[in-house]
Structure 1
Amino acid sequence: MRTVGVEEELLLVDPDSGEPRALAAAVLARAAQDGGEDDVFEKELHSQMLEFATRPQSDMHALGAEIQRCRKEAARHAGDVGAVAAALATSPLPVTPKLTTNSRYEWMAREFGLLPREQLVCGCHVHVSVDSDEEAVAVLDRIRPWLPVLTALSANSPFWQGNDSGYASYRSRVWARWPMAGPTGLFGSAEAYHRLVGDMVATGALRDEGMVYFDARISRTYPTVELRVTDVCLDASTTVLVATLARGLVETAAREAAAGVGPMPHDVSLMRLAAWRAARSGVRGELLDPVTMRPRPAAEVVGALLDHVDEALVEAGDAERARETAESVLREGNGAVVQRRLLEERGSLGAVVTECARRTQG
């Protein structure tokens, strides 16, 4: 059974107004004082953000429990310094991001100008174990067309600087501004993958391999494939769904490669359009079918993904729960739908943020 780990980025906000607060250093210091398992927390590009990483898990129920525990611990430590933690992929309210003091982040600010200074976004990264770099590249080549469906399910960033962006996942559009981010072409081999990464670093535009922001990449830290296309999800059950589908995709792709089934040869230009469509529509409207690259209702495309990975889900014991959660997201809406509904009901973006902070804890 392949193991799965999740990294989530949370937004630190004022408990009353909902405005982001630059308190990550204080929250991390509080977590360090507390000891225990709280070394899961890390700083991020902006000091209004807090990241945590779960341990690798083979059981999705255990993964869900750990995500909930980490979210509650983040909320507790944030509360100790006068903030709350919210699983929001962008701040609904206007914000002036504050860069974390760090030589790496300062280098990025010098090299990329305004881009990192204004990019306060919170994502979710899923790590799935692989046996080798060759298997990892075989997986990367075969999961490409399916990744936008994960973006659509996770979409949780409809607002930007106090306005409705018109997107379900505006975070993904902001993230796409990085010149090294986005979908990739077919690699074919681990040698070709590493050669491209080396060439990218050699341009001088990247500080190191850690700045290769592909939609999915070989982790330089763990023996995993890292999927990087999803917003941080408002509901932890959606995070578990994304992680479950990610493992299903990796397992299915590895089996296809072993059986000699080649990857779909879609051009990167089509991949970018599929990613844009997913960010725009979320689970409302249409997505691009991963096989045909033609529009289909989102529910049908999500169903196609579930069918594509069904064998892997059944063998892992995840099929029933994955389908139930996916049906719930399609019926009730993802985080973007919930945020817009809350704005209609409560009348202010501040109220949206504070309610989302409450829901973050489950």
Structure 2
Amino acid sequence: MGAAARESVRNLTVGVEEEFFLVDSSGHLSDAGPDVVAEAGEEIQGLQRELSRPQIETATGVCSTGEEVHEQLRTLRSSLVKVAAERDLLLLPSGTPLMVEEGPAAITPTPRYQKMARRFGPIVDSVTTCGCHVHVGIPNRQIGVQVSNYIRGWLPVVLALAANSPFHCGQDTGYHSWRHILWSRWPSAGPPPRFDSAEEYEDTVTAMIASGAALDRGMIYWHVRLSDAQPTIEIRIADVAMTAAHTSVYAIAVKGLVARAMRYIDDGVSVDSPRIELLRAEQWRAAREGLDGECTSPVSTRPLAIRRQLELMHDTVCDVLGAEDRGFLEAGLDSMLRDGTGAEQQRAVFERRGSLADVLAFLTREVIS
């Protein structure tokens, strides 16, 4: 790889989409999502409605560095907090609802969402969750499927890092990412298959839609997929993060993995891609145990503790990131390993007094940081 090509890999662009709950002061879900979008959609970048009425989604612009991602996320989150406060609501950065609700969340009344509700029935009621999607720029879809083949081996590790949903409807689930378990109920969700070409990717998407497991291309819920709207690869396995800082660290880790894959592709280095049944099992364990679990290492192809794998991931991506992002990632990972993931911090707050109200206050206070 020439110097120019290596520099282009270091300078990959990244963008982030985040989903949030709107809740009242007691932490219960509000149906105001579509109304907030209608009122503030032109003022807040990328603000969109989601499947259920208590949810809203934002999207950053195209970013070059972790610092830029962090700045944009803080601005977006701050704007949403202010808009929510005008309705006496709070912005909740959790992958799952905290409090017990009287019934399932209302569906946003659009033709597509209503069709999904009719088609998939109670599944729709059970997947009211909030995630984070990271887009990284790629040259073309053929390279994209090769990047996907590489990224999929790291999915359990990045899932554990991004876990932020230990509580669901008044209960400690015992999981670090209960959102992952709920979201896996969609028939089109899960780790992507290994693809030999962009054509095989397209054939598989077409077959899934024809089977009825997905209504359209937007319902291809693989944890890694190619975007149809822009020239990016989209990694979709993360819970929405507790803080903008956590999201930014996760986004740059993902950017680094994409950059490493592209370097391998250009250098002709082949990388083993795990069997899908093993990958599903190891993602389950990562969702269950978080950073305290273990899974097969993409580096050594043997089981290793996930905390050790984060060190290997850092070493793996360091030389394909620019100096600014290397420092940003190192400091961010150190902070998360010291202070805990979102799931770990939520549970630590709860353990002090056994109060979900304390968890709610903590999350809504930390949301902009």
List aligned pairs for 1:117-266, cutoff 5 A: 117-266=125-274
The reply to whether residue 14 of structure 1 matches residue 20 of structure 2 is no
Give 1:293 deviation, angstroms. 5.3
2:150/2:273 contact within 8 Å kept: no
| Corresponding residue of 2:71 | 65
Q: Would you identify which runs of 4 or more consecutive aligned residues in structure 1 move more than 6 Å?
A: none
| Corresponding residue of 2:8 | none
Q: Distance in 1 between matches of 2:169 and 2:296?
A: 29
Pick which of 256-265 and 280-289 moved more: 280-289
Give 1:235 deviation, angstroms. 1.7
**Any stretches of 5+ residues in structure 1 without a counterpart?**
none
Equivalent pairs, count: 357
Pick which of 282-291 and 116-125 moved more: 282-291
| Corresponding residue of 1:271 | 279
Q: Distance in 2 between matches of 1:216 and 1:226?
A: 6
Q: 1:4 aligns with which of 5, 14, 21?
A: 14
1:144-168, Cα deviation, whole Å (9 max, x unpaired): 1112211111100001121111110
Against the structure 1 CA distance between its residues 46 and 83, is the aligned structure 2 distance closer, same or farther, given a 3 Å change threshold? same
Q: Distance in 1 between matches of 2:298 and 2:181?
A: 20
Give 1:28 deviation, angstroms. 1.5
The reply to whether residue 113 of structure 1 matches residue 121 of structure 2 is yes
Against the structure 1 CA distance between its residues 290 and 281, is the aligned structure 2 distance closer, same or farther, given a 3 Å change threshold? farther
Q: Distance in 2 between matches of 1:73 and 1:140?
A: 34
1:56-79, Cα deviation, whole Å (9 max, x unpaired): 111221111000000011111111
Give 1:292 deviation, angstroms. 4.9
Cα RMSD (Å) of the superposition?
Answer: 1.5
Give 1:194 deviation, angstroms. 0.8
1:270/1:293 contact within 8 Å kept: no
Against the structure 1 CA distance between its residues 293 and 176, is the aligned structure 2 distance closer, same or farther, given a 3 Å change threshold? farther
**Any stretches of 5+ residues in structure 2 without a counterpart?**
1-10
Q: 1:321 aligns with which of 307, 325, 328?
A: 328
| Corresponding residue of 1:334 | 341
Give 1:346 deviation, angstroms. 3.9
Q: Which amino acid aligns with 1:215?
A: H
1:142/1:262 contact within 8 Å kept: no
Give 1:243 deviation, angstroms. 0.7
| Corresponding residue of 2:359 | 352
Q: Which amino acid aligns with 1:52?
A: T
| Corresponding residue of 1:90 | 96
Q: Percent identity?
A: 37
Pick which of 283-292 and 175-184 moved more: 283-292
Q: TM-score, normalised by structure 1?
A: 0.95
Q: Which amino acid aligns with 1:6?
A: V
2:164/2:239 contact within 8 Å kept: yes
Q: TM-score, normalised by structure 2?
A: 0.93
Structure 2 residue matching 1:318: 3-state secondary structure: helix
Q: Distance in 2 between matches of 1:39 and 1:268?
A: 36
Against the structure 1 CA distance between its residues 293 and 161, is the aligned structure 2 distance closer, same or farther, given a 3 Å change threshold? farther
Q: Distance in 2 between matches of 1:205 and 1:225?
A: 22
Against the structure 1 CA distance between its residues 48 and 301, is the aligned structure 2 distance closer, same or farther, given a 3 Å change threshold? same
